[in-house]
């Protein structure tokens, strides 16, 4: 890391450090932390610091809080989560805990997992065969993770998966992680916490995060251009001014960080840049279909897979939030291909897939539609981070502060809850605890 001179540091800034702005008015006490990004991790970090009596501010490049959690209430007139929507392990999930404290109900997800085979629902014996094959696939990954050399999860699948192999490859790879199993580390996959139990907020996870951020000092539409460390302070350049504090917490996605949108001064150690690149985000998009009257005969929150013939498949999440909205989940390489082709192509594929799985009448039942574009959003650039072989340790790298002043948080920094809202939240609290220790503030065990 090269040395930074006072002259070069000030020349690189956009304004005098003493400029009165954004909670740093003339004569006000200095900030303890500047938080970059108002997603789950940024909100969690700010809440922890505020609860400890520390002064902080969140700068968010976008016009809203929540990051990849966004509840759309305008398109269909009812809450619809276009991004993150499930709170895994709701009994111990920190976000669910704070939701209940705020009087927001988080209900257990009672979704049934259903299968379609050749235009019909799978029979009981066929369901048992699928789940038995799924158990064998997971066990193969577990066994491979015990080997000395990390390998691709796709290579760990046993041969005896039969006709269920394409479905299992999709369910464990693109649907769960946004990438194919050939691009996933068996160790990273194996270390990810169990995600069979989940909770859901009918008001929407995006709306939930917005509520939890309601009393926090957030500056929207304020992109960070540069994060710098000089002497015993952290500095963040925003349009027209420079903020300074005792520390900074950066919660941007790995793809945004790898893009160079935000500069670091001095340049980050090589290990961090490599971690951003290797922990790249997968692709998970969805097409929302309004289908009044439950034409498919599914229960609220049913999850449906098909017995796929190859990788060009999807999943259906039915009557999301107990509404007439269904989402077709498009992930991995196929999701990437379709989102780049545009909303019309993406929506056409989703409806054609639905008609192929449920029959031509399903197409006639579709009313309004909406397609997501997370992979193309410059403030997000993808879904969850999933490590390739050999990169599982990069998550631990990102938990180490840079020069004791710049902390990273976000789902990619969580060892076992990566790719989840709860993981992002816990990482934000961890980073805030690091700042509190830096300031000499006692941190209670487990907090």
Structure confidence at residue 113 (pLDDT) = 87
User: Could you please report the per-residue DSSP string of 190-232?
Assistant: HHSPP-S-EEE-TT-HHHHHHHHTTTS-EE-S----EEEEETT
pLDDT for the residue 234: 97
Measure the N-to-C terminal CA separation of the chain; round to a whole number of Å. Answer: 32
Q: What is the pLDDT of residue 17?
A: 34
Angle at which helix 40-51 crosses helix 205-212, to 10 degrees, equals 30
**Pair 201, 106: CB distance under 8 Å:** yes
**pLDDT of 10 over the 80 cut:** no
For β-strands 303-306 and 315-317, DSSP reports them as: antiparallel
Would you give the DSSP letter of residue 311? S
pLDDT tens-digit readout, 374-421: 999 999 999 999 999 999 999 999 999 999 999 999 999 999 999 999
Reported as a single tens digit per residue, the pLDDT across 167-180 is: 999 999 999 999 99
**pLDDT at 111 (0 to 100):** 63
Q: Do the strands 406-408 and 241-250 form a parallel or antiparallel pair, or are they unpaired?
A: parallel
d(CA 410, CA 40): 8
Q: Is 406 exposed, middle or buried (0-12, 13-18, 19+ CB in 10 A)?
A: buried
- Provide the pLDDT confidence category of residue 195 given band limits of 50, 70 and 90: confident
CA angle 413, 230, 31 (to 5 degrees): 70
What would be the CATH architecture of the domain defined by 113-196+282-376? Alpha-Beta Complex (3.90)
**How open is the CA angle 207-342-166, to the nearest 5 degrees?**
85
**364 near 328, Cβ under 8 Å?**
no
pLDDT computed for residue 447 by the predictor: 53
Helix residue ranges per DSSP H, 342-379 = 343-358, 360-364
Domain at 6-66+213-280+387-438, CATH from 3.30.70.3270, 3.50.50.60, 1.25.10.10, 3.40.50.300: 3.50.50.60
Report the 3 state secondary structure along 313-329.
CCEEECCHHHCCEEEEE
Q: In this prediction, what percent of the chain has a pLDDT beyond 90?
A: 86
- 137 contacts 161 by C-beta, under 8 angstroms: yes
The alpha carbon torsion through 123, 128, 133, 139 (nearest 10 deg) reads 160
What is the pLDDT at residue 235? 97
Q: Classify 111 as helix, strand or coil.
A: coil
- The predicted model scores a pTM of 0.93
Nearest to 97 by CA among 193, 201, 176: 201
Better-predicted residue by pLDDT, 430 or 443: 430
CB 308 within 8 A of CB 299: no
Return the pLDDT at 13. 52
How high is the pLDDT of residue 148?
Answer: 81
Q: Break the chain down into helix, strand, coil percent, rounded to 5.
A: 35, 20, 45
pLDDT at 444 over 90: no
> Would the pLDDT of 446 be above 80?
no
Q: Residue 196: its pLDDT value, please?
A: 83
Burial (0-12, 13-18, 19+ Cβ within 10 Å), 217: middle
In 3D space, the residue among 56, 125, 85, 149 whose CA is nearest the CA of residue 301 turns out to be 85
**Residue length of the chain:** 447
Task: Identify the band that residue 23 occupies on the pLDDT scale cut at 50, 70 and 90.
Answer: very low
Tokens of 130: 């699928």
Rg (CA), the chain: 23
pLDDT tens column, 241-257: 999 999 999 999 999 99
Backbone φ, ψ for residue 238 (5° rounding): -125, 165
Would you kindly state where each structural domain of the chain is located, as residue ranges?
6-66+213-280+387-438, 71-108+199-206, 113-196+282-376
pLDDT at residue 375, as a whole number? 98
Is the pLDDT reported for residue 361 higher than 90?
yes
- For the stretch 391-404, pLDDT in tens is 999 999 999 999 99
Whether 14 has a pLDDT exceeding 90, the answer reads: no
What is the residue-averaged pLDDT of the chain?
Answer: 92
- Matching fold, domains 6-66+213-280+387-438 and 113-196+282-376: no
Average pLDDT over residues 214-231: 97
pLDDT > 70 in the chain, percent = 93
Contact between 81 and 321 under an 8 Å Cβ cutoff? The reply is yes
Task: Report the C-alpha gap between 420 and 199 in whole angstroms.
Answer: 12
- A 10 A CB-CB count for 352 gives 11
pLDDT digits (tens, 9 = 90+) for 104-148: 999 888 767 899 999 999 999 999 999 999 999 999 999 999 888
CB 408 within 8 A of CB 262: no
């Amino acid at each position: 890391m090269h040395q930074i001179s006072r002259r070069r540091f000030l020349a690189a800034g956009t304004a005098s450090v003493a400029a009165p702005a954004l909670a740093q008015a003339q004569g006000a006490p200095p900030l303890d932390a500047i938080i970059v990004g108002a997603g789950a991790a940024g909100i969690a970090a700010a809440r922890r610091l505020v609860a400890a009596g520390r002064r902080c501010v969140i700068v968010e490049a976008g016009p809203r809080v929540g990051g990849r959690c966004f509840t759309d209430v305008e398109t269909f007139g009812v809450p619809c989560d276009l991004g993150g929507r499930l709170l895994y392990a709701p009994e111990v999930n920190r976000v669910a805990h704070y939701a209940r404290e705020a009087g927001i109900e988080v209900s257990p997800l009672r979704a049934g997992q259903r299968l379609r085979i050749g235009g019909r629902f799978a029979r009981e014996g066929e369901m048992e065969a699928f789940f038995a094959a799924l158990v064998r696939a997971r066990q193969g990954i577990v066994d491979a993770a015990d080997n000395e050399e990390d390998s691709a999860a796709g290579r760990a699948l046993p041969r005896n998966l039969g006709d269920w192999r394409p479905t299992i490859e999709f369910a464990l790879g693109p649907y769960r992680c946004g990438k194919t199993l050939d691009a996933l580390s068996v160790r990273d996959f194996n270390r990810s916490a169990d995600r069979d139990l989940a909770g859901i907020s009918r008001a929407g996870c995006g709306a939930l995060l917005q509520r939890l951020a309601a009393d926090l000092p957030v500056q929207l539409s304020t992109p960070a251009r540069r994060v710098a460390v000089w002497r015993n302070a952290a500095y963040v350049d925003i349009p027209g001014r420079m903020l300074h504090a005792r520390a900074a917490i950066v919660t941007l996605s790995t793809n945004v960080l790898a893009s160079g949108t935000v500069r670091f001064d001095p340049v980050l150690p090589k290990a961090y840049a490599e971690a951003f690149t290797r922990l790249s985000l997968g692709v998970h998009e969805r097409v929302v279909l309004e289908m009044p009257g439950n034409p498919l005969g599914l229960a609220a929150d049913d999850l449906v897979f098909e017995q796929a013939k190859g990788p060009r498949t999807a999943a259906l999440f039915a009557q999301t939030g107990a509404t007439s909205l269904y989402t077709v989940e498009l992930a991995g390489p196929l999701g990437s291909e379709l989102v780049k082709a545009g909303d019309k192509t993406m929506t056409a594929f989703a409806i054609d897939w639905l008609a192929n799985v449920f029959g031509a009448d399903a197409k006639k039942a579709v009313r309004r539609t909406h397609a997501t574009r997370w992979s193309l959003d410059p403030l997000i650039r993808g879904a969850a981070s999933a490590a390739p072989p050999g990169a599982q340790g990069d998550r631990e790298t990102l938990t180490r502060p840079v020069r004791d002043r710049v902390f990273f948080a976000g789902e990619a920094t969580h060892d076992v809850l990566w790719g989840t809202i709860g993981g992002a939240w816990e990482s934000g609290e961890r980073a805030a605890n690091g700042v509190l220790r830096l300031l000499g503030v006692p941190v209670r065990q487990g907090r």
